[in-house]
Amino acid sequence: MIIEQAKEKLKQRANGETYDAVSAAIYILEEQQEKGLEKYGVSADDADLSKAEWARHLAEEMADGLIYVEALKEANEDESLDDLFNNWSAGLASFVIGAAYFWEVYSDEQD
């Protein structure tokens, strides 16, 4: 269900057109869903996780994303992409902080 909703949102944002970026995003979503099914044996829809556990997973994934963006920045030789990478870093850092805060709040409630 989550993947189908994401696909629909991507298509809506593309006004029903098929763009390479939309196709790539859908492909990545499908690949990630398969990896998750192999690793955990259930889809995200069927996972029995608390809000704190979801927030922890989110913080960990966003932290990984931040590391990948920083690696891209280091490898980047095209100065025209600097602002893009800096914006990604700032956005991902905000996600990590927000998800970690959410995790802390809900972890305390479950104790």
List, for residues 21-30, the tens digit of each pLDDT value: 777 877 888 8
Whether residue 87 has pLDDT greater than 90: no
Whether residue 111 has pLDDT greater than 60: no
Whether residue 49 has pLDDT greater than 70: yes
Distance between CA atoms of residues 59 and 46, nearest Å: 20
pLDDT band at 109 (very low <50, low <70, confident <90, very high): low
Residue ranges covered by each domain of the chain:
1-46, 49-111
Q: Are 108 and 61 in contact (CB under 8 A)?
A: no
Distance between CA atoms of residues 75 and 69, nearest Å: 10
pLDDT band at 38 (very low <50, low <70, confident <90, very high): very high
pLDDT score for 41:
92
pLDDT score for 97:
87
